[in-house]
Every structure is written in C-alpha cells, then in structure tokens.
Amino acid sequence: MKVAVIGGGTMGGALVKSILRARLAAKGDIVVSDVSAERRELARKKYGVAVSGDNASAVKGVDAVILAIKPHEMDSVMDELSAQLKSQLVISIAAGVSLEAICRRLKYGAVVRAMPNTPAQVGRGMTVWTSSKELDAGKHETARLILSSMGEELYFKDEKYLDMATAISGSGPAYVFLFIEALIDAGVHIGLPRDTAQKLVVETVAGSAEAMNKMAKHPAELKNMVTSPGGTTAEALHRLESGGLRSLVVNAVTAAYEKAKSIGLNQAG
C-alpha cells in the first residue's frame, strides 16, 4: 500500500510510525508532505520515508491520503488536492471538520473522518471514525487497518457521535494528564519526593485502567471495593464530591463538545 501523509506534526508522525509497525506499508511507499522543511527532515531521519513540500505531487499514485493537519489548514490543503484525487482513500483527522465539508471542498466522495488521540504515539490510541456513503467495502477495510494500527478503533455510522467522542477520547488524555499532575503535586505536598510521587501515581492510574478493562465491572463497583466505611478513601472521596468534581468534569466535556461543533459550523461556512 502506498500512503501520503499530509502534515508532519505529532499525529502525522504517530500515523507513520503505526503504519510501519503494523507493516501496512514499507518506508519507500510512504511520503510525508509538510510546508515545514524542519518537519520534513525530521520525518525523513526518524522514519526513513520520502518527504515532499508539494502536497499535490505527494498524493499522486498513492492508495491512501491522510490529512493530519489542523482544522484551519484544511481549506487551503483541500484546494491543492482536489484535482489530484482519482481513486485514493482520503482520511481526515481534523477536529470538527465534517464529511460534508470535506467532500464538497475536495469534490470527491471516498472520504473517512477520524478522531484519534495522543496515546496513538505509543500504540494505545482510541480512534473513532465514520465514512461517506461513497466509500466501498475495500476502502472501508483499508481505513480500519490504518486506524487500528494506532490502537483501538470504533466505527460510527452516524457522524454526530464524532464531536461527542472528540470531547471524551480526543481531549480526554489532557484531562487525565491534568489529574495525574494534580495527584503528583498532592503527593509532594504531603511530603513524598517528586519522583516517588510520580511513580506511585502513574502506576496507579495505569493499573486502575487495566483492572477496569479486565474485571469488566462498573467503575462505581470498583470504587466501592477500595472504599472502607469511615476510612481514608471515604474521606478523600467526600472532599472530591463536595468540591464538585463530577459537575466540573461534565461541564468541561460539554464545553469541549460545543467547541467541536462550533469548529464544524465555522468550517461549513
């Protein structure tokens, strides 16, 4: 399979790394196109792939085109590519930019819209995606293979769920990192050395997520398993609930969802 990745930033690099790791394409069959000479050189040195500063040339003759760029860059890049698309699969990971907007601007129908997250950089990503009606079964499977190379993938027929997922899994790692940072700082506050606090927190978070996955229990049940009546955990949870932790999380996710929708509306205009 020949692949053109438009955008040599963090997620573009994660996609290249994942595709190579899954052996979906060889180094010589991948080209990374980016306006930045520095990012092109980094991709060439780090992954051994071909690089280009010309998006239109990069997509010629490839099987899949991945738009790993920011929403505000989409219009200009799509204008460059529209005349070059013949039979390629197009995958966009730009947050908030709808299938309808992409297909209209590209004047092309075989399009997938996906939202991966940053753990894709270590093969533990969560990607949600949808596709245009024009996408055939072969290209659908190719898209699934590419996206699953980064970790888990979940397909939705209804595009409306992508903006919702953006607010949860797309932005979610930032919420988790914020909580991890706060928990480490709390450990330091009560007297733990910072490196010790970080080790305790990171392993606790990772282990808790794995336990929930493998034990297949509701988080409330798992929480109750840790909480003894009148104990230290009960006291800490009381303080978190009194501080409005649940409401803050709901409000934050709702704000992220509304922002994702507004990006799409602005792009559609």
Indicate if the pLDDT at residue 23 is higher than 90. Answer: yes
Q: Which domain holds residue 73?
A: 3-157
Pairing status of strand 3-6 against strand 89-92: unpaired
Written as one letter, the residue type at 35 is: V
Which pTM does this prediction carry?
A: 0.88
Q: In terms of domains, do 132 and 254 share one? A: no
Q: In terms of domains, do 82 and 112 share one? A: yes
Last residue of a domain, one of 133, 157, 181: 157
Distance, in Å, from the CA atom of 45 to the CA atom of 35, rounded to the nearest integer, reads 17
pLDDT digits (tens, 9 = 90+) for 195-249: 999 999 999 999 999 999 999 999 999 999 999 999 999 999 999 999 999 999 9
Q: In terms of domains, do 153 and 27 share one? A: yes
Last residue of a domain, one of 91, 124, 157: 157
Q: Could you tell me if residue 162 is inside a domain?
A: no
In the predicted model, what is the mean pLDDT of the chain? 94
Q: In terms of domains, do 135 and 213 share one? A: no
pLDDT digits (tens, 9 = 90+) for 34-61: 999 999 999 999 999 999 999 999 999 9
Distance, in Å, from the CA atom of 223 to the CA atom of 5, rounded to the nearest integer, reads 43
